[in-house]
């Protein structure tokens, strides 16, 4: 069976229903009696939806047709479904699966000795190298919208403390796991506390300056 227009099945079914009505039978009522919803029957007969194989059989249980006619209608339905799937496959862009690069859990930069925002910026450069030197575009994609390429560039060139949320997003995008992230969080908070007079004295593990 060649290409079939999706309206053909609806037309054939409507012809069968009209034939039933002319014979004095009530095909719509029978369809409802075998479990079909009235709206569903209407949408099938008008071609707005293509019924599944089981749904079509249920609809045909409410009318008088031969086994050959039932088989033919199921064949038309199958061809229409195949054509629809083929068209969707042609229209859908190919999805290329990108495997995330392997990032080792050992040998990562250690931020515990950082004493200034400038040293932190240098450490972030090292983190990017350790993570495989991902492009700014890839880092942006991995951050789910938190980072922008311009923001990342500024973070790696600037001499001030980076924004906290973007800082964490960058570390995660480079492959720093949650366990190691705690040390980086403490480092950022220690540097931030040193910029706020009196704040360091209230934070455990951070000596006042």
Question: 80 and 137: one domain?
Answer: no
Q: Is residue 207 part of a domain?
A: no
Q: Is residue 100 part of a domain?
A: no
Question: 79 and 121: one domain?
Answer: no
Grade residue 63 by pLDDT with cuts at 50, 70 and 90: confident
Residue 129 has a pLDDT of: 93
Top pLDDT among 119 and 2 is at 119
185: domain range? 117-202
Contact call for residues 159 and 206 (beta carbons, < 8 A):
no
Question: 138 and 174: one domain?
Answer: yes
Question: 131 and 85: one domain?
Answer: no
Question: 76 and 128: one domain?
Answer: no
Tokens representing residue 77 in the block: 């339905």
Q: Is residue 25 part of a domain?
A: yes
Residue range 53-69: mean pLDDT, rounded: 86
Please give the Cα distance from 77 to 58 (Å, whole number): 14
> Would the pLDDT of 89 be above 80?
no
Residue range 110-124: mean pLDDT, rounded: 92
Q: Is residue 101 part of a domain?
A: no
Q: Is residue 112 part of a domain?
A: no
Question: 51 and 126: one domain?
Answer: no
**Among 196, 189, 149, which Cα is nearest to 169's?**
149
Q: Is residue 191 part of a domain?
A: yes
Q: Is residue 110 part of a domain?
A: no
Question: 124 and 198: one domain?
Answer: yes
Q: Is residue 106 part of a domain?
A: no
Question: 137 and 192: one domain?
Answer: yes
Query: How crowded is residue 188: how many other Cβ atoms within 10 Å of its Cβ?
Result: 21
| Residue where one domain finishes, among candidates 91, 126, 146 | 91
Tokens representing residue 43 in the block: 């949408």
Question: 22 and 68: one domain?
Answer: yes
CA 96 to chain centre: 14
| Residue where one domain finishes, among candidates 74, 91, 108 | 91
Domain count, the chain: 2
Grade residue 96 by pLDDT with cuts at 50, 70 and 90: very low
Contact call for residues 136 and 151 (beta carbons, < 8 A):
no
Threshold 0.85, pTM exceeds: no
Helices (H), the chain: 6-22, 27-33, 38-45, 53-60, 67-91, 117-130, 136-142, 149-157, 164-173, 178-195
- Per-residue pLDDT tens digits for 157-199: 988 999 999 999 999 999 998 888 999 999 999 999 888 877 7
Question: 74 and 15: one domain?
Answer: yes
| Residue where one domain finishes, among candidates 91, 126, 144 | 91
């Amino acid at each position: 069976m060649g290409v079939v227009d999706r309206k053909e099945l609806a037309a054939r079914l409507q012809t069968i229903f009209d034939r039933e009505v002319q014979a004095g039978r009530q095909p719509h009522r029978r369809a409802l009696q075998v479990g079909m919803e009235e709206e569903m029957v209407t949408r099938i007969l008008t071609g707005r939806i293509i019924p599944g194989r089981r749904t079509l059989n249920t609809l045909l249980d409410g009318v008088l047709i031969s086994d050959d006619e039932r088989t033919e209608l199921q064949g038309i339905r199958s061809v229409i479904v195949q054509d629809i799937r083929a068209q969707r496959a042609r229209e859908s862009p190919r999805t290329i699966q990108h495997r995330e690069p392997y990032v080792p859990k050992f040998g990562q930069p250690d931020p515990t000795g950082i004493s200034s925002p400038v040293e932190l910026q240098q450490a972030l450069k090292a983190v990017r190298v350790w993570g495989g030197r991902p492009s700014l575009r890839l880092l942006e994609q991995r951050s789910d919208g938190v980072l922008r390429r311009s923001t990342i560039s500024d973070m790696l060139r600037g001499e001030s403390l980076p924004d906290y949320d973007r800082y964490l997003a960058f570390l995660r995008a480079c492959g720093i796991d949650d366990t190691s992230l705690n040390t980086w969080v403490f480092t950022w908070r220690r540097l931030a506390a040193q910029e706020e007079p009196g704040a360091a004295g209230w934070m455990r593990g951070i000596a006042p300056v």
